[in-house]
Amino acid sequence: MYLIVGLGNPGREYEKTRHNVGFDTIDELVEEYRIDQSGVKFKAMYGKGMIGGEKVILMKPLTFMNLSGEAVRGMVDYFKINVKEELIVVYDDIDLEPGHVRIRAKGSAGGHNGMKNIVRMLGTQEFTRVRIGVGAKPKGWDLADYVLSRFSKEDRALIEEAIDHSCKAIRCIVEEGVDAAMNQFN
């Protein structure tokens, strides 16, 4: 069973912000695969369903970004998820241009506080991640203000395409494995 986690911040004020592209991706998967998202457990919203013939749990932490690892750890332990093989985390990346997607089987958290917390709580960097580019912060901007801001109309169109691309990549990861997805989608 795969645990697919989209990172973001709960609350209307954060909807459609750069930091919430992980939540947006989970919302797209929920709609596409008609997976009920009414479960609440371990500081997270979640739903169980099927993608590509495989059982999945789609999850959005309710802890706010910087404490995402608390929710992920609780779900991993409860559902006995093999982190290296069955965990997929989707999140925003300021080091990628808006709309670009990168899939990795492992890696550091970089400067992303949500990922830092997940790595710390799990004690490993070896899990699959799908990074969605939101662009570098403009000169003079505070990073927190930037990632909590919304996209321009042009960039939002690129992000919508990236979310669709990410959903296809996630299905590929579930059906064929992370290496096949990296070859096909990176």
Catalytically active residues, by annotation: 19
Using only the alpha carbons of the chain, give its radius of gyration: 15
Please state the length of the chain. 186
Beta-carbon contacts of residue 29 (< 8 Å; ≥ 6 apart): 4, 35, 51, 58, 167, 170
| Residues 55, 79 contacting (CB under 8 angstroms) | no
